[in-house]
Amino acid sequence: MYDLKLALRQFRKSPGFAATVILTIALGIGANTAIFTLVHAILLKSLPVANPATLYRVGDQDDCCVNGGFMNDNGDFDLFSYDLYRHFQDSTPEFEELAAFQSGHNTVNVRSKAGIKPEVAEYVSGNYFSTFGLGAFAGRTLQASDDVPGATPVAVLSYQAWQAAYASDPGVLGSTFYIQNQPFTVVGISPPGFFGDRIGSDPPALWLPLNDEPYIERETSILKQADTNWLYVLGRLKPGINPGSLQAKLSNNLRQWLATQTAYTINGGNTQIPKQHVIMTPGGAGIQNLQQEAGSGLRLLMAISALVLLVA
């Protein structure tokens, strides 16, 4: 109390100096708080999913959105065709679940009882939500049985879109959305806080099964094009699996599969196959495109704001 009274007397004697000191320190703390909040949200935060430490991405680079043939000069594969994803899924029991999802997003026209709206949609494998360990806020998520040819077309609506575009109308669940004029049944609402598999300015409003891609895209469908790479692959490891050993196995499986594909062996392509490989990276934060693009700039801002606080 004595120290507090003394400080207040000093402030009263020099109010201008006291105000300057308080404002300077406040600005220093405020700048650090703002920048660290941004750094935490983009660089440090995991996806709001179950046990993110066991999630691993097959790939490490910011590649998007559709590539044909070999991926990079150094042989690094980061995007995969649907056929190659299924090959990985069948040949790597080390994953509890292995999901695939579109590296880009589509803006589709959606007609419902709320009218016609453009929405961002993403094609995902039927085990997408189960790989992340997520249930639905309402209804159910996609299932493996939804992601097979001939299955009834279904969709999961994001919680954010359900609130913003459909006013949290419970009648949306089970209703029919006409996506690019094709009927889809909305079977579930995603959990609150789940914005998708990556940080971005346009998170998906709808998740659709991969096998419904030809149903919507028609003659421009790329689902069955074995040499067209357009999917990210991310899985959950079984307990005790070493990521380094699994990375070597996946790279070997990749080379074996490429050797069976004419599109990769013609015109001397077979000489490129031995150097093709994948790099496994932690997947708890999802696909870190934004982190790779903005990481160095955010770290620089953090250093500058720390200097501002030091000066203050």
pLDDT at 290: 60
Helix 2-13 × helix 15-39 angle, to 10°: 110
Q: 148: buried, middle or exposed (CB in 10 Å: 19+, 13-18, 0-12)? A: exposed
Q: Which two tokens stand for residue 247?
A: 């990375």
> According to the model, what pLDDT value does residue 97 have?
94
- For residue range 200-225, list pLDDT tens digits in order: 778 899 999 999 999 999 889 999 99
CB atoms within 10 A of CB 256: 12
Asked if residue 196 has pLDDT above 90, the reply is no
Top-confidence residue, 264 or 42: 264
Distance, CA of 306 to CA of 32 (rounded, Å): 6
Confidence of residue 44 (pLDDT cuts 50, 70, 90): low
CA end-to-end span of the chain: 26
| pLDDT above 80 (res 156) | yes
Q: How confident is the model at residue 121 (pLDDT cuts 50, 70, 90)?
A: very high
Using an 8 Å Cβ cutoff, are 81 and 90 in contact? no
Query: Looking at residue 291, what is its pLDDT?
Result: 62
pLDDT at 3: 94
CA distance 276 to 192: 39
Tell me the mean pLDDT in the region 9-18.
Answer: 89
Weakest-pLDDT range from 106-115, 222-231, 302-311: 302-311
pLDDT of residue 120: 93
For residue 84, what pLDDT is reported?
95
Question: What does the pLDDT average to over 270-298?
Answer: 80
Q: Which one-letter amino acid corresponds to residue 18? A: A
Q: What was the pLDDT predicted at 228?
A: 92
Query: Does position 235 have pLDDT exceeding 70, yes or no?
Result: yes
**C-alpha atoms less than 13 angstroms from C-alpha of 101 in its C-beta half-sphere:** 26
Sign of the alpha-carbon dihedral angle for 51, 57, 63, 69: negative
Q: What is the DSSP letter of 277?
A: B
Q: Please state whether beta strands 154-157 and 182-189 pair in parallel, antiparallel, or not at all (unpaired).
A: parallel
pLDDT mean over 142-150: 94
- From residue 286, alpha-carbon distances to 45, 76, 221, 266, 290 in Å are 10, 19, 26, 35, 10
Residues with Cβ within 8 Å of 187's Cβ and at least 6 positions away in sequence, in order, are: 139, 140, 142, 146, 154, 155, 156, 173, 174
What is the predicted pLDDT for the residue at 127? 96
Residue 177 predicted with pLDDT over 70: yes
Tokens for 285, please give them: 């934060």
- β-strand partners of 109: 118
Residue 100 pairs with which residues in a beta bridge?
233
- What pLDDT is recorded for position 289? 63
Indicate yes or no: pTM above 0.85. Answer: no
Per-residue model confidence (pLDDT) at position 252: 94
Residue 115 and residue 15: Cα distance in Å, rounded? 61
**Tell me, what's the pLDDT at 288?**
66
Please give the pLDDT value at position 237.
94
Q: Answer whether 284's CB lies under 8 Å from 56's CB.
A: no
Question: Looking at residue 157, what is its pLDDT?
Answer: 96
Helices (H), 40-76: none
Confidence category of residue 80, pLDDT binned at 50, 70, 90: very high
pLDDT of residue 74: 83
Token look-up 């494998």 returns 125
State the pLDDT confidence band at 307, using cuts at 50, 70 and 90.
confident
* Residue 147 DSSP symbol: S
Query: E strands, 59-216, where?
Result: 67-68, 95-102, 106-112, 115-124, 138-139, 154-157, 176-179, 182-189, 206-209
What share of the chain in percent tops pLDDT 90?
A: 56
| Predicted local distance difference test score (pLDDT) of residue 144 | 94
Average pLDDT over residues 239-267: 92
From residue 77, how far is each of 1, 85, 204, 277, 305 by CA, in Å? 66, 12, 25, 6, 37
